[in-house]
Copies of this chain bind each other. A is one copy, B any other.
């Protein structure tokens, strides 16, 4: 039924071992033999049996990329860059020694995250890239650290991209962490410099590193400016979604109608915030300023163009891909912090005098 290595060997009048050698290209083979084998492969339309070769070699060419939300370009950009770096730019359809780079959508669920890791472990994946913020629940952290240690132990390269180093797991090849705290601080400093004092904050889901770090940066800037009031009144948490920005903004306005600026957990949330403000008849930035985070492609096209913090998602993803392939030396200590740059645009302006 299905053609095997032995069939190819018979047709090429060589031994199975030789066929294996030309296919893997790791041993010297006479040019004439190699050609004969390749021809037989073509004529028979032979496709290597992945499971069999993985079993025999005790490794596979699978590389998993985990994302929290595949419908969010934040993850799509990183994953795409990593995948390109791993699978190679072009493809002939032949499929030589390529890796199979593959993205897995956890939906932000810790259970699914662990399940995917187990599934990848089961496949003896060559590498795993974890993108985006992590959940800070102690149980989950412990479970993740244990799982990653086991993966690393089995020879799987583990790379973190846009995620802070996991406490208690030195099993990781490299962690590329975004400077969310610094970015958050600079963004709020920008607002403070414009003269804002009453700033609402639409935060991401609690217990996520990304959420916490951005919020900490925000509050650090406020504290440095001598704004010491309790911020919990003007902070609302919610998922990283447009809808959340919309609802939270209405809530913030209800709590404090005198806010002169709103900082959102990310650009998507900021867009929802803008919609809510418009629906309330408020003009941006004349009546109220808005800022986001990430600088996703659509942010520059928003009206008004969104002030935000740029994260080099593409570069980070590509670098993670290279690290996963072993094509780049890990940073010193295995940890690199990736800068976050303020992009001041039209959605922020000085508050109204009055």
Q: Mark A185-224, 1 if CB is under 8 A from B, else 0.
A: 0000000000000000000000000000000000000000
Q: How near does chain B come to A314, taking the closest CB pair, in angstroms? A: 9
A331 at the interface (CB under 8 A from B): no
- Interface stretch (choices A74-82, A226-234, A334-342): A74-82
Judge whether B103 and A103 touch: CB under 8 Å: yes
Known: A49-B124, A55-B55, A73-B71. A118 touches B93 (CB 8 A): yes
Judge whether A122 and B303 touch: CB under 8 Å: no
Q: Can you list 11 residue pairs at the A/B interface with Cβ under 8 Å?
A: A51-B51, A61-B119, A71-B73, A79-B105, A83-B104, A91-B114, A92-B111, A93-B111, A93-B115, A100-B123, A302-B303
Task: Give the interface SS of chain A, mostly helix, strand, loop or mixed.
Answer: helix
A352 at the interface (CB under 8 A from B): no
Judge whether A271 and B242 touch: CB under 8 Å: no
Judge whether B112 and A91 touch: CB under 8 Å: yes
Number of this chain's copies in the complex: 2
With a CB–CB cut-off of 8 A, which chain B residues contact A268? 298
Q: Nearest chain-B residue to A62 (Cβ)?
A: B123
Judge whether B91 and A115 touch: CB under 8 Å: yes
Judge whether A95 and B115 touch: CB under 8 Å: yes
With a CB–CB cut-off of 8 A, which chain B residues contact A113? 91, 93
A237→B62 CA distance, assembly (Å): 36
Interface centre among A83, A107, A298, A302 (most CB of B within 10 A): A298
- CB < 8 Å: which of B70, B118, B121, B143 contacts A80? B70
- CB < 8 Å: which of B71, B103, B114, B298 contacts A102? B103
User: Which residues of A come within 8 Å of B, CB atoms?
Assistant: 2, 45, 47-52, 54-55, 60-62, 64, 69-73, 76-77, 79-80, 83-84, 87, 90-95, 98, 100-105, 107, 109, 111-124, 143, 147, 150, 154, 242, 268, 271-272, 274-275, 278, 297-298, 300-303
With a CB–CB cut-off of 8 A, which chain B residues contact A2? 154
A52→B52 CA distance, assembly (Å): 7
Judge whether B301 and A242 touch: CB under 8 Å: yes
A50→B98 CA distance, assembly (Å): 19
Known: A91-B114, A103-B105, A111-B92. A47 touches B274 (CB 8 A): no
**Interchain residue pairs A-B with the least CB separation, the first 4:** A93-B114, A91-B115, A51-B54, A91-B111
Judge whether A121 and B47 touch: CB under 8 Å: yes
Known: A103-B105, A274-B301, A297-B242. A94 touches B118 (CB 8 A): yes
A97→B192 CA distance, assembly (Å): 54
- CB < 8 Å: which of B60, B70, B90, B143 contacts A111? B90
A83→B66 CA distance, assembly (Å): 13
Judge whether B87 and A79 touch: CB under 8 Å: no
Judge whether A50 and B124 touch: CB under 8 Å: yes
Q: How near does chain B come to A302, taking the closest CB pair, in angstroms? A: 8
A116→B118 CA distance, assembly (Å): 23
Judge whether B111 and A83 touch: CB under 8 Å: no
A64→B84 CA distance, assembly (Å): 17
With a CB–CB cut-off of 8 A, which chain B residues contact A91? 109, 111-116
Known: A115-B98, A301-B272. A76 touches B72 (CB 8 A): yes
